[in-house]
Homo-oligomer: A and B are copies of this chain.
Amino acid sequence: MEGHLKPGDRVPERQLCETFGISRTPLREALKVLASEGLIDLLPNRGARVRKFTEKDVRDSFELLASLEAAAGRLACARISEAEVAEIERLHYDMYGHYMRRELPEYLKLNQAIHAAIVAASNNQALQAAHRSLTARMRQFRYSASTIKRDRWGQAMREHEQMIDALRRRDGRELGDILFEHLLNKLQAAYEAMRAQEAAEVPEVT
């Protein structure tokens, strides 16, 4: 809800109870779920902490995301309807417009919608659930990537063009490969964002 919680911070139950206006019992249930989904760490007798992601965690997450979307793209090409392709094309053209006008928030929103649409077109609930769970976990360092560099933006746009092309041709293998590369290409940006975040966060210890 209030996104400004730094990784590693203690999260006292009492305070959260007041914030949300509920008692400790349902709150603890929710915390257990968040812990099982990897969003927080839950140390025995020592409370909940916002999970601290290492660089390897970030890389692993992006690799998994890339793998999931690649699989989704491959499956989608075998099953997607003409109407669904048309809808994704529409999203793509809208996004292109925002790209040309340099409207980053709107661009990012459509970007996300396109990826979600491809995953949905895989028509695989298990895959979709795994994707949702992962993107929820990744939101921390994904949103940081809003500070996209202009050259990277152009590259991403070109990759999206290729994706639409492969999707039109129902070339599942190619779409999967492009999606995989496309998402791994975001790693560098995410690394930089995370390093910036770390620098702004703990200016204490040497």
A residues near B (Cβ < 8 Å) are 25, 28-30, 32-33, 36-38, 56-57, 60-61, 63-64, 67-68, 70-71, 75, 124-127, 129-130, 134
Contacts and interface: CB of A to CB of B under 8 A. Distances in A.
B126 A63 contact: yes
Nearest to A32: B29
Contacts of A130: 64, 130, 134
- State the oligomeric state as a number of copies: 2
A121 to B, nearest CB: 14
Contacts of A61: 126
A129 B134 CA distance: 11
Most buried by B among A25, A37, A38, A125: A125
Contacts of A126: 57, 60-61, 63-64, 134
